[in-house]
Amino acid sequence: MGKNFFGTDGVRGRVGHDPMNADFTMRLASAAAQVLVPKGGTVVIGKDTRLSGYMFESALEAGFVAAGADVLLLGPLPTPAIARLTQEFDADLGVVISASHNLFFDNGIKFFDRSGSKLTDEIEHKIEEHLKNRAITLESQSLGKAKRIDTARIRYQDFCISSMPDGVDLDGLKVVFDGANGAGYKVGPRTLMGLGADVIPLGCSPNGKNINDGCGSTEPELLQVTVPAVKADVGVALDGDGDRVVMVDESGTLVDGDQLLYVLATARKDKGSLKGPVVGTVMSNLGLEHALKARDIDFRRAAVGDRYVLEMLRESGGVIGGETSGHMLVLDKTTTGDGLISALQVLAVMKETGKPLSELVAGMPRYPQTMINVRTEQRLDPGKSPEIQNAVAIAEGELADKGRVVLRASGTEPVIRVMVEGQDEVQVVSLAKRLASVVKKTAA
């Protein structure tokens, strides 16, 4: 059964349009309280730097307090910080106000359970059932209370610093840090400086409207120019809510999530500390799979979405996984995708080996990928179309073992994503266009 409001990462949309308004947000808080803290309890709320965050914070506070829950307001902090602090404050629920890598006119609400993990589909369905009703208000003696926590940022910085290997600091490293004018704008630079790095900040001056705008992991061009210009050793870019990271080597070359997984996996393999398989997604570059296989490292693919990567890691006993976008999981360090902690692990490898990032990623080729989005009049399952499957089989035959074809229906709009990957870029582009044409004709 599908959900009406919850997507792959909470509830998200354009501010001022359904459902991202104050009324819905208060009802959402009330519904979540009835499902997850029905007898009262503690809820922590954090946010990124969007202007609309003040409004949603107040609406959530009202909904939870009216339903009998106590609220701790943590202020602007990365999404993974809220996951961590939910555990540290022994709270029953963690709430994040953020639209991640989207621009400021969007916002969203996402939840963590008391273990710092995202909610299951079952729990989200239960919350949506309660959304059919008005927000509840208990009698005065049963209302919750709210207070601001001024120590939250320091607690999270200390936690990040503690994730470094024993005896390893960042003394001697010059790091350009791009905070996307988002939730990591303070904790990122201060954590890196606390470990001894020489830090040059970019995207660390939020004004409520400039989050992810020309900066951060989705637009790292300024970071790529700045790193070699200031003769830095490395660049780090988070997205607006701090759960994704990409990096830039000393020459200004972008290093994506697949390459960062390769660095972490091979470093742990060399130290004899790698546990279980490395988990990527169906969209992870084939070069990563081949490079890990060459090092005798098991690699598995989950469906797109960090929750599916997490699920496969837990089932297989692995601890390292992630997506090309830089949403990485290092489960022996924290429970959810954390851009800053992931970056620290890579920086630690640089320090321990004495190698620049360019050398650490050199063993992984990145094969050309072409993605074409084909918009359809109605939702289409490409796996159930004989015409499309026949075209895919022909393309896979031409690629042999030197490439892949992935057709995936979007979960949010009537779009089929056609991805072809291989060693020959000309062939890849040609096959992608051919398959997109077949999908378009079939969907007409």
- Per the CB < 8 A criterion, the answer to whether 334 and 227 are in contact is no
Quick check: 240 and 261 in contact, CB under 8 A? Answer: no
Residue located via tokens 């919850």:
6
Active site residue 100: yes
Q: For strand 42-47 and strand 93-97, is the pairing parallel, antiparallel, or unpaired?
A: parallel
- Which is catalytic among the residues 30, 100, 284, 385? 100
Torsion of the alpha carbons at 157, 158, 161 and 167, rounded to the nearest 10? 160
Taking phi first (over 0 means left), then psi (-120 to 50 degrees means alpha), and beta for anything else, what does residue 252 get? left
Token pair listed for 146: 């709210």
Could you identify the residue written with the tokens 């080996």?
353
Distance in angstroms (rounded) separating the CA atoms of residues 407 and 370: 12
- With vertex at residue 137, the alpha carbon angle to CA 136 and CA 140, rounded to the nearest 5 degrees, is 160
Strand pairing report for 42-47 and 369-375: unpaired
Per the CB < 8 A criterion, the answer to whether 128 and 3 are in contact is yes
CB 243 within 8 A of CB 322: no
The pair phi, psi for residue 246, each rounded to 5°, is -125, 160
Give the residue numbers marked as catalytic: 100
